[in-house]
Copies of this chain bind each other. A is one copy, B any other.
Amino acid sequence: MTYCVGMMLDKGLVLMSDTRTNSGVDNISVFSKMHHWSVPGERIISVMTAGNLATTQAVISLLEERTKAPEDREPSILKAPTMFQVASIIGGLLTETIRDRQESSHHMSGGPKFTASVILAGQIAGMEPRLFLIYPEGNFIEASEDTPFFQIGETKYGRPIIIRAYNRQMSFEDASKLLMVSMDSTLAANLSVGMPLDLMVLERDKFEPLHERRIHASDPFFQAISTGWSEALRTAFHSLPGYDLTEKS
């Protein structure tokens, strides 16, 4: 599995992904699931992927090839006029890649389905930062005031704390901490999500990562969060009023 979160803030965008891929619990590897491309001063485009690794690597490679010589290859995400069109291009590549693989392996019934999904975050100069969730079918939805973050992969364990602690005005520091707490709850519950983590902070109108970091299991801050959160949760729990067993319904 995988766990990736993209979060929209007033100040910009914060992204975090784990790096574990697995084909059975006895076959795990580390692969980055976070990639970005930028044109200094003009645009930054960042994607996180979940799903079949061969599919997501193929999509990233196709995007890479097209961004390296954008004048030769159309359509390029570095020339698309809006983030909406970037999302369309990536959605198209994603669904084509999945379809090609499924068609060329349809004789293997009951085989893997090759599906994948993508979180796309970025900004083009003169426009707002935007955040999208792209489905295997190639269609997509955009984050809004009401739904300001997207998760892909193993989304459930880490969701309650984001729902409770997120607010749009929070600092990048708090948002990074929140994603680590959310990730920590997921790591504790699902072996197929694993360290190290990738963190990226995209400040509004900056068009290059403000902060980009690989967080290893030995990272002292992450360890402090992980240990501290267990303790803080217990304290929070005991701060709630006590239940009275003698109460009747």
Contacts and interface: CB of A to CB of B under 8 A. Distances in A.
B232 A177 contact: no
B189 A160 contact: yes
Contact size range, A: 35 or more
A57 interface: no
Contacts of A243: 173-174, 176-177, 180, 221
Interface in A13-70: none
A22 B211 CA distance: 45
Contacts of A221: 241, 243-244, 247
B245 A173 contact: yes
B241 A225 contact: yes
A249 B181 contact: no
Given A159-B157, A165-B234, A240 B177 contact: yes
Nearest to A228: B240
A242 B175 CA distance: 10
A164 B224 CA distance: 16
25 contacts: A156-B156, A156-B157, A156-B189, A157-B160, A159-B189, A160-B189, A164-B229, A164-B237, A165-B233, A165-B234, A165-B237, A174-B243, A176-B245, A180-B243, A210-B245, A211-B245, A213-B247, A213-B248, A215-B249, A221-B243, A228-B240, A228-B241, A232-B236, A232-B240, A235-B236
